[in-house]
């Protein structure tokens, strides 16, 4: 048992060092499953033969729950999944798997004998968010069941695809019984840091070119009061905009408000900004208020 655990641990370390990608290139099979695909297209299993559907009945110290996850086949006995999928689940948890079919209720079925979560996994920072599951029975390879290709380097600036089971409509949380995929465009690390601040080693970020098809790690209920922010390719120079947030009502005598507030701002061109602050970091822009009593403050 001890040697088996050490072997499992070595595999996890090896996989971490190989820079597992969240994406799969169109020309090759290279994927790690994401929890939800919103919209997207039906994914033929022959195009994503590494895909594993997991039905998790998690038992923890506090409670038990049911949910689904995706995984990728490493070999005939082991698959790769996300650590957050199995975090806090005890060894008594029941995990069933299905391979070889895009429909979650079809395909070749088995159960998970054991699983191992990366020892340095940090959930709130998404660091080392990987885990290995060991099948109870050896799976047989075919044109619909294959190993995922582990990549040494991320496919920066290339078109990729991400596949998973989950929801087809994020607003109404419409579930999907079949595997779905969306096109994604892999961004460079410097570009990612403009939006995320920092990205853990071994991870990459990507974006969709459409508002209808995208991937999401958690499901939010979108309605008239909850909507996605519109990301702009270029700043709205010389235009009026709004800055909203919670914070100070009075900047001199710090007094905090409980309600969301906004102020009108007028976006300057970069040359005008540099005349005032001398240096403008890449990816940022500056703006000002006309009203001296209403403004945004750091």
Q: What is the mean pLDDT of the chain?
A: 76
Q: Are 129 and 83 in contact (CB under 8 A)?
A: yes
Within 8 A by CB and 6+ apart from 145, the residues are 49, 73, 99, 100, 108, 139
Which ranges of 91-237 does DSSP label H, i.e. alpha helix?
189-196
Which DSSP category does 5 fall into? H
Total number of residues shown for the chain: 298
Residue 4's pLDDT is 44
Per-residue pLDDT of 228-260, as tens digits, reads 676 666 777 888 887 887 767 666 666 667 778
**CATH of range 2-216; options 1.25.40.80, 2.40.10.10, 1.10.3720.10, 3.30.70.260:** 2.40.10.10
Who wins on pLDDT, 274 or 147?
147
Q: How far is CA 146 from CA 198, 236, 286, in A?
A: 34, 48, 51
Within 8 A by CB and 6+ apart from 125, the residues are 200
Name the residue ranges covered by the structural domains of the chain. 2-216, 240-288
pLDDT band at 80 (very low <50, low <70, confident <90, very high): very high
Residue 2's pLDDT is 42
Q: Are 8 and 132 in contact (CB under 8 A)?
A: yes
Residue 202's pLDDT is 73
Q: In the structure encoding, which two tokens stand for residue 121, read together?
A: 């996994």
Q: Work out the average pLDDT over 271-284.
A: 76
**DSSP-derived 3-state class of residue 85:** helix
Phi, psi of 77 (to 5 degrees): -120, -15
Residue 211's pLDDT is 56
Within 8 A by CB and 6+ apart from 247, the residues are 256, 257, 261, 297
pLDDT for residue 9 is more than 50: no
pLDDT for residue 199 is more than 60: yes
Q: Work out the average pLDDT over 28-39.
A: 45
pLDDT band at 179 (very low <50, low <70, confident <90, very high): very high
Contacts of the segment 105-113: beta carbons below 8 A, 24+ positions apart: 105/177, 107/45, 107/53, 108/139, 108/140, 108/145, 110/135, 110/136, 110/137, 110/139, 111/135, 111/136, 111/137, 112/54, 112/136
Q: Work out the average pLDDT over 3-16.
A: 44
Who wins on pLDDT, 253 or 177?
177
pLDDT band at 98 (very low <50, low <70, confident <90, very high): very high
Residue 217's pLDDT is 46
Q: What is the rounded CA–CA span in Å between residue 220 and residue 48? A: 27
pLDDT for residue 59 is more than 80: yes
**DSSP-derived 3-state class of residue 45:** helix
**DSSP-derived 3-state class of residue 36:** strand
Per-residue pLDDT of 211-234, as tens digits, reads 555 555 444 455 556 666 766 667
Q: Work out the average pLDDT over 191-212.
A: 74
pLDDT band at 14 (very low <50, low <70, confident <90, very high): very low
Phi, psi of 256 (to 5 degrees): -95, 140
Per-residue pLDDT of 16-32, as tens digits, reads 333 333 333 333 333 33
Per-residue pLDDT of 105-162, as tens digits, reads 999 999 999 999 999 998 877 788 999 999 999 999 999 999 998 887 878 888 888 8
Q: Work out the average pLDDT over 188-195.
A: 80
């Amino acid at each position: 048992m001890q040697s088996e655990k050490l072997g499992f641990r070595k595999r996890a370390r090896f996989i971490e060092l190989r820079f597992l990608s969240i994406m799969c290139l169109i020309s090759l099979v290279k994927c790690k499953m994401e929890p939800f695909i919103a919209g997207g297209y039906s994914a033929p299993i022959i195009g994503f033969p590494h895909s594993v559907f997991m039905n998790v009945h998690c038992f923890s110290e506090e409670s038990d729950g049911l949910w689904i996850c995706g995984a990728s086949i490493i070999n005939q006995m082991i698959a790769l999944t996300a650590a957050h999928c199995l975090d806090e689940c005890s060894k008594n948890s029941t995990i069933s798997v299905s391979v070889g079919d895009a429909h979650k209720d079809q395909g070749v079925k088995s159960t998970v004998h054991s699983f191992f979560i990366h020892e340095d996994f940090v959930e709130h920072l998404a660091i080392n968010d990987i885990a290995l599951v060991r099948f109870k029975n050896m799976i047989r390879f075919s044109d619909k069941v294959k190993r995922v290709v582990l990549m040494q380097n991320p496919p920066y600036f290339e078109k990729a695809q991400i596949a998973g089971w989950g929801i087809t409509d994020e607003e109404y949380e419409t579930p999907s019984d079949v595997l779905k995929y969306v096109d994604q465009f892999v961004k460079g690390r410097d570009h990612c840091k403009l939006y995320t601040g920092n990205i853990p080693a071994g991870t990459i970020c990507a974006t969709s070119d459409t508002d209808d098809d995208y991937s999401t790690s958690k499901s939010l209920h979108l309605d008239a009061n909850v909507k996605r922010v519109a990301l702009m390719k270029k700043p709205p120079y010389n235009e009026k905009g709004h800055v909203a947030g919670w914070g100070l009502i009075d900047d001199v005598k710090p007094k905090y408000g409980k309600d969301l507030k906004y102020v009108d701002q007028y976006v300057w061109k970069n040359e005008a900004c540099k005349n005032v602050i001398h240096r403008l970091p890449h990816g940022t822009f500056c703006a000002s208020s006309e009203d001296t009593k209403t403004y945004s403050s750091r």
